[in-house]
């Protein structure tokens, strides 16, 4: 077995499997070498058995058994290639979606600059200020999109860096709710907060937690196509702080619940032409919460709405 490993290392098979981010049992190069070895061994064994036993029936059974093993390995190789092809397709679609999402703020900035640079009639001071405010808002939007891309990449490469500290989740919730107010009003959604008077701080990465909250509230607004109410609630449960974001939106079909935190997942209740979701928000959120020592989950009724929740450890000096 050690010699076999040595050959694998020399052929750089393990390196290639690592590069593709798959286990050796899903790695086509490894499976291909394994299948080759099994074919060689099976030919030798069959030959030896055929010499030893004259009984055709036994030889036929051995050949049948080995063919079955080769068939299973062949099937694993085909599945592995399929998985890699699907992954390449999903990544290409993801690049398309993210490019489209980046284009929206970019075109808005371009148009505001058109106005500021005086290609139209000169704006007055107040309107200049509005245009600059708009550019700033769109710029923040682009930063969030690019941060998502980087975060996604770090999760894939397992290189996420955490800088945990004590901070107030209540203040963060209020900040995110204020940020989402405009988009919520546009979709005819009211945001309500249910936060206790006093709550211990949490111990986590503040910037990353802000990203998680933003994604959950953004989803609640984005998928509530018929308006309604989005509620953000906080509560202390033992040594954890639980945050729940509920909406009265499309809900998640039972058949899709299993895939909700997987990368590139987008709810089929909402087509790509009705919202600009990227399909990585919940994947990133789960990775961040799990790394922070918390849990994340959801409950949903199709057509009636969903509640996404996560927990984070409370700051130890405040328990």
Partner 1 sequence: MKKILLIEDEMRLHKMFEEVFKQDGVELISAYDGALGLKAAEENYPDLIITDIVLPKKNGFEVLEAIKSNPKLAKIPVIILTNLEESKDVGKMLSLGAHTYLIKANYSVNDILKKIKEILK
Binding interface with partner 1 (CB under 8 A): 96, 100, 103-104, 106-108, 110-112, 114-115, 119-121, 127, 130, 134, 137, 182, 186-187, 225-226, 271-276
CB closer to partner 1 out of 134 and 256: 134
Of 10 and 271, CB closest to partner 1: 271
Minimum CB separation of residue 59 from partner 1 in Å reads 57
Shortest gap between Cβ of 266 and partner 1 (angstroms)? 13
Least distance to partner 1 from the beta carbon of 123, Å?
A: 8
Cβ pair 113, 134 in contact under 8 A: no
90: Cβ contacts below 8 Å, ≥ 6 apart: 263, 264
Closer CB to partner 1, 3 or 120, in the complex = 120
Rounded to a whole number of angstroms, the minimum distance from the CB of residue 176 to partner 1 is 19
Structure tokens at 114: 């058109």
Smallest distance, Å, CB 285 to partner 1? 23
Do 172 and 209 contact (CB within 8 A), yes or no?
yes
C-beta closer to partner 1: residue 59 or 106: 106
Which is closer to partner 1, CB of 222 or CB of 240? Answer: 222
Distance of alpha carbon 204 from its chain centroid, rounded?
A: 19
End-to-end CA distance of the chain: 53
* Nearer residue to partner 1 within complex by CB, 89 or 254: 89
User: In whole angstroms, how close is the CB of 85 to partner 1 at the nearest point?
Assistant: 20
**Of 263, 297, 268, 272, nearest in space to 21 by CA:** 263
* 3-class secondary structure, 7: helix
- CA–CA distance, 314 with 166 (Å, rounded to integer): 8
In the chain the beta strands, taken as DSSP E runs, fall at 165-167, 189-194, 202-204, 228-237, 240-246, 296-301, 305-313
Nearest to 228 by CA among 254, 191, 259, 182: 191
């Amino acid at each position: 077995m050690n010699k076999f490993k040595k050959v694998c290392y020399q052929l750089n098979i393990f390196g290639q499997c690592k590069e593709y981010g798959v286990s050796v049992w899903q790695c086509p190069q490894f499976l291909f070498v394994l299948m080759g070895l099994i074919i060689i061994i099976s030919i030798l064994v069959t030959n030896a058995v055929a010499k030893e036993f004259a009984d055709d029936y036994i030889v036929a059974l051995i050949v049948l058994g080995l063919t079955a093993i080769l068939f299973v390995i062949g099937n694993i190789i085909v599945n592995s290639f399929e998985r890699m092809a699907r992954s390449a397709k999903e990544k290409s679609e993801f690049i398309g979606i993210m490019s489209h999402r980046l284009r929206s703020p970019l075109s808005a900035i371009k148009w505001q600059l058109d106005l500021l640079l005086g290609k139209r009639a000169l704006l007055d001071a107040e309107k200049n200020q509005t245009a600059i405010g708009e550019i700033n808002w769109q710029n923040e939007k682009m930063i969030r999109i690019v941060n998502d891309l980087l975060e996604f990449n770090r999760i894939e490469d397992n290189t996420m860096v955490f800088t945990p500290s004590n901070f107030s989740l209540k203040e963060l919730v209020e900040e995110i709710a204020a940020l989402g107010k405009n988009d919520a009003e546009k979709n005819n959604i009211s945001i309500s907060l249910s936060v206790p008077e006093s709550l211990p701080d949490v111990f986590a990465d503040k910037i990353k937690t802000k990203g998680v909250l933003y994604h959950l509230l953004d989803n609640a607004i984005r998928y509530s196509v018929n308006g309604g109410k989005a509620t953000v609630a906080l509560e202390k449960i033992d040594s954890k702080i639980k945050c729940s974001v509920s909406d009265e939106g499309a809900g998640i079909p039972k058949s899709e619940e299993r895939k909700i935190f997987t990368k590139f997942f987008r709810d089929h209740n909402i087509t790509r032409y009705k919202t600009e979701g990227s399909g990585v928000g919940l994947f990133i959120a789960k990775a961040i919460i799990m790394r922070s020592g918390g849990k994340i989950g959801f409950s949903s009724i199709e057509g009636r709405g969903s509640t996404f929740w996560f927990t984070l450890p409370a700051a130890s000096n405040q328990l």
